[in-house]
Amino acid sequence: MDLQDLRKHIDSLDDQLLQLLNERMELVKKVGELKRATKTIIYRPEREKQILDRLEKQNKGLLSRSAIEAIFLEIFAVSRNLELPERIAYLGPEGSFTHQAAESRFGGMSEYLVLPTIRSIFDSVETGRARFGVVPIENNQEGVVSETMDLLREKELLIAAEVLLPIHFSFVSQSDSLHDIRRIYSKDIAFRQCSKFLREYFEELNVELIPVESTSKAAKLAAQEPDAAAICSHIAARLFGVPVLFDNIGDGDQNRTRFVILSKSFVNQKSQADKTTLIANLPNTHRPGVLFEFLKDFNDRGINLTKIESRPLRDGSTFKSWFLVEFEGHHDDQPVQEIFQKYGTHLKWLGSYVRISDSK
């Protein structure tokens, strides 16, 4: 079989894929009509996980789990927009990693609301201007995002899902030669996290590093200036049409940012791999052993804690804290229910949702 024959065969398969996708969308349309009639929520992360798990088990071809996810998450996103278009708010600007996280779950066809602050995302979801909001909550290199943590306590919103995004910086420029580049734009955090690349390629060149407010702004400037470059996200390079000279230039390949998807009233059904987030305002925190006793209650019930983060109470008291706690399991699990019954109003449930593995 020669190249022309192979291409004809691929074209034939593409035709079949298109027909099958259209057949799927016809069924999706009917599902959407039923959901609208019963006022059922369109976005169901646990259902999407069931589909991906089933496909992975029966997969006998070359596609990896991550490849299957990439293809089908986009199919899911198109399906949701066919069922019922929903507005998604995310922390801007366009081309940010939060934009990338939002598109990874809601696709390129969703209606997006680009907002300037984390508080404005919370406000937009709280007031119903957006159905979902996407905000960063922690980075494994830089730590937690304090504003997100504090607003989770302040606002009455729930976590519908989480997104774990590998942070891969791209080096982009209109120039074909590194020797012609005079300025590199980016955020200072990106300069720090790409310091090895900058030393290796630009230490002996007369290049100015110019911090700007966002990697998106950096890409926009690089698109306008032929002797400039930017360190930015791949989505920003695509958005502003700047050629990528080098990809994945970070100091290590383990840079991850975790995002949460916010909703005003969203309850996930149980899946086989859930995570729960709650806020604990423990009574009598001045008494020795209070935190130990609280954590022991989880241990005694076989609940695996995955995170505990303290934040200042800011109620006029001296050095008192509240805690954000995360653990494996669902709110409806009996051992978890026992914890909530014991501590009552001292706990605020923020959501139970499909747990994303960091094994990729």
High-pLDDT (> 70) share of the chain, %: 94
CA angle 127, 131, 136 (to 5 degrees): 95
pLDDT grade for 318, boundaries at 50, 70 and 90: low
Domain boundaries, the chain: 1-83, 86-167+255-266, 172-246, 267-354
pLDDT at 236 over 90: yes
Closest CA to 65 of 76, 78, 55: 55
158-208 pLDDT, tens per residue? 999 999 998 899 999 999 899 999 999 999 989 999 999 999 999 888 899
**pLDDT per residue as tens digits for the range 325-343:** 999 999 999 999 999 999 9
When comparing pLDDT for 145 and 253, which is higher? 145
Q: CA-to-CA distance for 229 and 249, rounded, in angstroms?
A: 14
CATH 3.40.50.300 fits 267-354, yes or no: no
Do 101 and 123 meet the contact criterion of CB atoms below 8 Å apart?
A: no
pLDDT surpassing 90 at residue 359: no
pLDDT exceeds 90 at position 282 = no
Rg (CA), the chain: 23
Closest listed residue to residue 298, CA positions, set 332, 267, 270, 328: 328
Contact 274, 329 (CB under 8 A): yes
Residue 38 has pLDDT above 80, yes or no: no
In Å, how far are 129, 292, 304, 331, 332 from 341, measured between CA atoms? 34, 18, 18, 11, 12
State how far the alpha carbon of 108 is from the alpha carbons of 92, 93, 239, 329, in Å. 15, 16, 12, 31
103-153 pLDDT, tens per residue?
Answer: 888 877 788 999 999 999 999 999 999 989 999 999 988 899 999 999 999
Q: Are 130 and 266 in contact (CB under 8 A)?
A: no
SS3 of the chain: CCHHHHHHHHHHHHHHHHHHHHHHHHHHHHHHHHHHHHCCCCCCHHHHHHHHHHHHHHCCCCCCHHHHHHHHHHHHHHHHHHHCCCEEEEECCCCCHHHHHHHHHHCCCCEEEEECCHHHHHHHHHCCCCCEEEEEEEECCCEECHHHHHHHHHCCCEEEEEEEEECCCEEEECCCCHHHCCEEEECHHHHHHCHHHHHHHHCCCCCEEEECCCHHHHHHHHHHCCCEEEEECHHHHHHHCCCEEECCCCCCCCCEEEEEEEECCCCCCCCCCEEEEEEECCCCCCCCCHHHHHHHHHHHCCCCEEEEEEEECCCCCCCCEEEEEEEECCCCCHHHHHHHHHHHHHEEEEEEEECCCCCC
Query: pTM here?
Result: 0.77
d(Cα 88, Cα 43) in Å, to the nearest integer? 12
Mean pLDDT of 288-309: 93
Tell me which CATH code domain 172-246 carries: 3.40.190.10
Q: What average pLDDT score do residues 236-263 get? A: 92
Give tens-digit pLDDT for 83-98. Answer: 666 789 999 898 889 9
Give residue 360's pLDDT: 45
* Model confidence at 230: pLDDT above 50: yes
Contact 351, 158 (CB under 8 A): yes
Q: Which CATH code for domain 86-167+255-266?
A: 3.40.190.10
Nearest to residue 147, comparing CAs of 136, 158, 134?
136
Tell me the longest C-alpha to C-alpha distance in the chain: 78
| pLDDT category of residue 245 using cuts at 50, 70 and 90 | very high
pLDDT at 210 over 60: yes
Q: Judge whether 1-83 and 267-354 match in fold.
A: no
Residue 41: its pLDDT value, please? Answer: 66
Closest C-alpha among 255, 276, 51, 64 to residue 164: 255
CATH class assigned to 1-83: mainly alpha
